Amino acid sequence: MGVIEEYGSILLILAIAFGFFMAWGVGANDVANAMGTSVGSKAITIKQAIIIAMIFEFAGAFLAGGEVTSTIRKGIIDPMLLEDSPELLVYGMMASLLAAGTWLLIASANGWPVSTTHSIVGAIVGFAAVGISFDAVQWGKVGEIVSSWVVSPVLAGTFSFIISLSIRKFIFNADDAYVAARRYLPIYVFFVGYVISMVTFTKGLKHVGLKVSFEEALLYSAVAGGVIAVFGAVLISRIKRVASSAQHDLVNVEKIFALMMIFTACSMAFAHGSNDVANAIGPLAAINAVIESGGVIGAKAATPSWILLLGGGGIVAGLALYGYKVIQTIGTHITELTPSSGFAAELAAGTTVVVASALSLPISTTHTLVGAVLGVGLARGISALNLRVVGNIFVSWLVTLPAGAGLAIVFFYIFKFIFSGT
């Protein structure tokens, strides 16, 4: 009797536990991408952020989390290489989930915003290079992922720097900030609606089965942006000047940006939940498919609803119990954020996702958001940044891939010894 037939139920139970643990780590660490700037700028409280994220992250994970999930995350390895030894794939995916979840727990405890995608990819690379063969890893794909360390923060930082300067020039430095805000904010609202719609089409709904090309998404998003801009203009026109002083005008303008940030945070949370839940449920779906088939490995694995539910539940649990640490790092420890600067960072992060999708550039949502926050800080000068925190974040990024790989190798051989005796 083979390992799959003899220990299949035990392996699946362990995989479910490790999958939930990994999803918990995604919630504890990665959800700060959508909520950190909103909390840091005081547009919403951390309790409100957690409630909003719980609703929209879960909705994204469960409703759009993936009808079909590739068994090997990001095509890092070819699962057919293990066709004659399916138990090794199960051990490897279990080890990867446990390793990535462990690293995310360590990072979250220290308030480090790291990439959950890099965590699981590093883990898969580790077990594959040692447990299968060095040549089994698609090193070109790994190189693309490593390049995102530079591409993501640089692109997002550039966009946020430009947006911050434009807001300062056209609104806050105008002779009458209140009048300038009423004139220019509908334009920014249009770009918000446009970018968030594009993020939703390219990342949030791509798994649902909607056949929307990138060109069609551009058109639909332009329409959505126009509708939202009209709606925003109406709301802005109803905000009355409460006092003639410039200080009160600035307060009113910041309130408008705070309202827009709530909308962007909800949309980004939905897109994030639908996309990054695959980091937890992809390996679990692979394990489930192998065990259900009695050891037959396929290139794709259908994702049952219970796995999506598990992934969404794990994200919510991690966010509610531990997400505040990384939210505080992004929102308050890198640089001081106002609603307008936080809005610039979120708009820049969304724009980076859209541009990267159009150009097929590899990016990390975590690195993108951190880069955007750095950009709005630099717009006020290098002294506005907490360089010690920034340095710690960069080191944690460099450590993520090797940390995931090292832990996965250890766990892989432990599982192999326990179940195969070798």
Tens of pLDDT along 313-368? 898 899 888 888 888 888 888 888 888 888 898 888 888 877 877 776 767 788 88
Residue with the bigger pLDDT between 409 and 305: it is 409
Q: Which residue type sits at 167?
A: I
pLDDT attached to residue 67: 46
Work out the pLDDT band at 66, boundaries 50, 70, 90.
low
pLDDT attached to residue 208: 57
CA dist 348 and 242 (Å) reads: 31
Per the CB < 8 A criterion, the answer to whether 323 and 52 are in contact is no
Work out the pLDDT band at 96, boundaries 50, 70, 90.
very high
Residue with the bigger pLDDT between 384 and 362: it is 384
Indicate whether 311 pLDDT > 80: yes
pLDDT attached to residue 210: 65
Q: Give how many domains the chain has, as a whole number.
A: 1
Q: Which whole number is the average pLDDT over 36-53?
A: 84
pLDDT attached to residue 178: 78
Work out the pLDDT band at 193, boundaries 50, 70, 90.
confident
Contacts of residue 40, defined as CB under 8 A and 6 or more positions apart, other chains included, come to 327, 328, 330, 331, 332, 336, 337, 342
Three-state SS string over the chain comes to CCHHHHHHHHHHHHHHHHHHHHHHHHHHHCCHHHHHHHHHCCCCCHHHHHHHHHHHHHHHHHHHCCCEEECCHHHCECHHHHCCCHHHHHHHHHHHHHHHHHHHHHHHHCCCCCCHHHHHHHHHHHHHHHHCCHHHECHHHHHHHHHHHHHHHHHHHHHHHHHHHHHHHHHHCCCCHHHHHHHHHHHHHHHHHHHHHHHHHHHHCCCCCCCCCHHHHHHHHHHHHHHHHHHHHHHHHCCCCCCCCHHHHHHHHHHHHHHHHHHHHHHHHHHHHHHHCHHHHHHHHHHHHHHHCCCCCCCEEECCHHHHHHHHHHHHHHHHHHCHHHHHHHHHHCECCCHHHHHHHHHHHHHHHHHHHHHCCCCCHHHHHHHHHHHHHHCCCHHHECHHHHHHHHHHHHHHHHHHHHHHHHHHHHHHHHHHCC
Nearest to 292 by CA among 59, 38, 16, 9: 9
CA dist 6 and 382 (Å) reads: 60
Q: Which residue type sits at 414?
A: I
Indicate whether 68 pLDDT > 50: no
Indicate whether 404 pLDDT > 90: yes
Instruction: Write out the two tokens for 383.
Output: 């002294």
Per the CB < 8 A criterion, the answer to whether 376 and 341 are in contact is yes
From 199-213, 214-228, 366-380, the region with the lowest mean pLDDT: 199-213
Number of Cβ atoms within 10 Å of the Cβ of 371? 27
pLDDT attached to residue 124: 92
| Strand 300-302, strand 68-70: pairing | antiparallel
Q: Categorise residue 303: left if φ over 0, alpha if ψ from -120 to 50, beta otherwise.
A: beta
pLDDT attached to residue 247: 64
Task: Return phi, psi of residue 386, to 5°.
Answer: -90, 95
Work out the pLDDT band at 19, boundaries 50, 70, 90.
very high
Token match 């990994």: residue? 22
Structural domain that includes position 104: 3-420
Indicate whether 299 pLDDT > 60: no
pLDDT > 90: percent of the chain: 24
Indicate whether 106 pLDDT > 80: yes
Indicate whether 283 pLDDT > 50: yes
Indicate whether 280 pLDDT > 90: no
Nearest to 73 by CA among 15, 113, 121: 121
pLDDT attached to residue 163: 93
Work out the pLDDT band at 249, boundaries 50, 70, 90.
low
Instruction: Write out the two tokens for 398.
Output: 């460099």
Indicate whether 71 pLDDT > 70: no
Nearest to 93 by CA among 143, 10, 19: 19
CA dist 184 and 190 (Å) reads: 10
pLDDT attached to residue 108: 92
CA dist 65 and 324 (Å) reads: 24
From 17-26, 87-96, 142-151, 152-161, the region with the lowest mean pLDDT: 142-151
Q: Which whole number is the average pLDDT over 301-310?
A: 79
Task: Return phi, psi of residue 147, to 5°.
Answer: -65, -25
196-217 pLDDT, tens digit per residue, is: 788 777 765 655 566 778 788 8
From 30-44, 195-209, 391-405, the region with the lowest mean pLDDT: 195-209
Indicate whether 312 pLDDT > 60: yes
Radius of gyration of the chain from Cα atoms? 22
Work out the pLDDT band at 64, boundaries 50, 70, 90.
low
Token match 């794939």: residue? 89
Work out the pLDDT band at 65, boundaries 50, 70, 90.
low
CA dist 390 and 386 (Å) reads: 6
Q: Give the rounded distance of the alpha carbon of 39 from its chain centre.
A: 17
Answer positive or negative: Cα dihedral of 210, 214, 219, 223. positive
Residue with the bigger pLDDT between 405 and 193: it is 405
